[in-house]
Amino acid sequence: MGEPGERAAEGTAPPLGDLLVATATGDRAAFGLLYDETAPRVFGLVRRLLVDAAQAEEVTQEVYLEIWQTAARFDRAKGDAVAWMLTLAHRRAVDRVRAAQASRDRDLRAGVRDLAVPVDEVAETVEVRIEHERVTTALASLSDVQREALALAYYDGCTQSEIADRLHVPLGTVKTRLRDGMIRLREVLGVTT
């Protein structure tokens, strides 16, 4: 059968599940192959969730450190290796987004507390209500399938693959619904890029 590194040199990498199991035993060569096979997908997912490339690289590195440290938790009976790794990556990226938002919120609260600027609360409330109505109207102009896909992506934080799984439709269909929905929203809201 040979070592994982030998099979990779021959051009046929072992199944990712085998590489994860070997990684759990401390096999660095298996971990290297696992990284080579999956890094573009993991980074791509993280990059979509974190707009900043430097942060995406940092989170991807954290994901692979977690994979190295917790590979023994992988259970083939519960799913495939890629799904397990992408779940770790998604969670780690969402945690980073939440931490960044919490930090901004703390800074904002501290700044607001220190800055005593009079605010016309009535005008601000009206403006927020008007924007809310515009968005609600814009969302109503979408087809049901576009609205559902956008809600899963932006309100539930699902990836495109997760949306496809939930809706039992091909990934390409989800991408089309999201793209067409966003185009329609831009038109209705008058957003220019």
pLDDT digits (tens, 9 = 90+) for 31-63: 999 999 999 999 999 999 888 899 999 999 999
Would you say 50 and 93 are in contact if contact means Cβ atoms under 8 Å apart? yes
* Placement of tokens 């590489």 in the chain: 19
Q: What pLDDT does residue 9 have?
A: 45
Instruction: Please give the average per-residue pLDDT across 95-114, as a whole number.
Output: 79
Cα–Cα distance measured from residue 23 to residue 67, given in angstroms and rounded to the nearest whole number: 8
Q: What pLDDT does residue 168 have?
A: 95
Cα–Cα distance measured from residue 144 to residue 150, given in angstroms and rounded to the nearest whole number: 10
Which tokens is 37 given? 């096979």
- CB-based contacts of 30: which residues, under 8 Å, 6+ apart? 4, 14, 18, 19, 22, 23
| Phi and psi at residue 177, to the nearest 5° | -60, -45
Count of CB atoms situated within 10 Å of the CB of 145: 16
pLDDT band at 163 (very low <50, low <70, confident <90, very high): very high
pLDDT digits (tens, 9 = 90+) for 178-190: 999 999 888 888 8
pLDDT band at 157 (very low <50, low <70, confident <90, very high): confident
Average pLDDT, the chain: 86
Residue 84 has pLDDT above 70, yes or no: yes
pLDDT band at 115 (very low <50, low <70, confident <90, very high): low
- CB-based contacts of 48: which residues, under 8 Å, 6+ apart? 159
